[in-house]
Structure 1
Amino acid sequence: MSPTVSTLLLRNLHDVFGEIDPVRRRKAIEEVFHEDAVFYEPNGAYHGRDEIDRIAGVIKATHPDFQYQPLSPPEEMGDGGRVQWVSGSPGKPPAYAGTDFIIVRDDKIAAVYLFFDKLS
């Protein structure tokens, strides 16, 4: 059974960028990302699974206790989708918010676009 765009969005959020364990994170990256995938964020672009793994580890290390929480269910359209989320320490107000957009090719993430949103 092929993963849905929504499943890929949530796995990216929780199993890749929300995962502290490098072995579990790498396994998830292998499962959900194309080997030539690209992750775009305001500070740069990261090409390929190795670079996505590296930057996901760097980001998670800056706030190891933060958890990502979707604000609503992911939305899908064709081969793309988006999910809006907040992140912060459990039991505390969110520290930041964002929206992930993905493009899917052959049932795997080909590109992720991260936009940071203003907290309300």
Structure 2
Amino acid sequence: MTNTVADLMRRNLLDVFNEPDPERRGAAIAETYAEDVVWHEPDRVVRGREALDERATELRAQAPDWVFHPDGPVSVNDDLGHLGFQYGPAGQPPVATGMDIAHCKDGVIIELYTIVAEVGQPS
């Protein structure tokens, strides 16, 4: 089964960046991204699945009780996907909002852009 762009956008947010278990996160990364994926964050560029996994692990460690929630539906235009998100402590108002925009090809994300708008300061 080939992942659709909408599937990939949801997996990116929920199965990778919300996943606390390293093995499940690693499996989701292998199924969601190209081996040579390029992820553009506001302050860095991450290249490759392994580096993306390391960065996702680092983000989880910085705020282990925080979760991502989709902020609206996935938008798709050909091979591009967009999904807004909210991020913050589970069960509380979000501390940050943002969006992921991904270029997809052959059922995987090949390039990902994350844009973040701060809402408040982490506690």
Task: Say whether residues 1:34 and 2:39 are aligned partners.
Answer: no
Instruction: Give the alignment's TM-score, normalised by structure 1.
Output: 0.95
CA distance in 1 between counterparts of 2:99 and 2:117 reads: 7
Q: Distance in 1 between matches of 2:104 and 2:76?
A: 11
Secondary structure of the 1:91 match is: coil
Structure 2 residue runs without a partner (length 5+): none
Contact 1:20 1:61 survives alignment (8 Å): no
Residue 112, structure 1, aligned to residue 112, structure 2: yes
Report how far residue 118 of structure 1 moved: 4.7
CA shift for structure 1 position 117: 2.3
How far apart, CA to CA, are the structure 1 residues paired with 2:118 and 2:76? Answer: 23
Quick one: distance in 2 between partners of 1:114 and 1:49? 16
The whole-number CA distance in structure 2 between the counterparts of 1:118 and 1:87 is 10
In 1, distance between residues paired with 2:4 and 2:26?
20
**Partner Cα separation in structure 1 for residue 93 and residue 72 of structure 2:** 17
Distance 1:10 1:97 in 2: 16
User: How large is the RMSD of aligned CA atoms in angstroms?
Assistant: 1.3
By how many angstroms is 1:88 displaced? 1.2
- TM-score in terms of structure 2 length: 0.92
User: Could you tell me which residue of structure 2 aligns to residue 2 of structure 1?
Assistant: 2
Q: Which runs of 4+ in 1 moved over 6 A?
A: none
Trace 1:1-120 onto structure 2 (pairs within 5 A): 1-119=1-119
Determine helix, strand or coil for the equivalent of 1:30: helix
Number of aligned pairs?
120
Inter-partner Cα distance in structure 1 for 2:55 and 2:20: 12
2: CA distance, partners of 1:29 / 1:20: 13
The 2-side partners of 1:51 and 1:20 are apart by 17
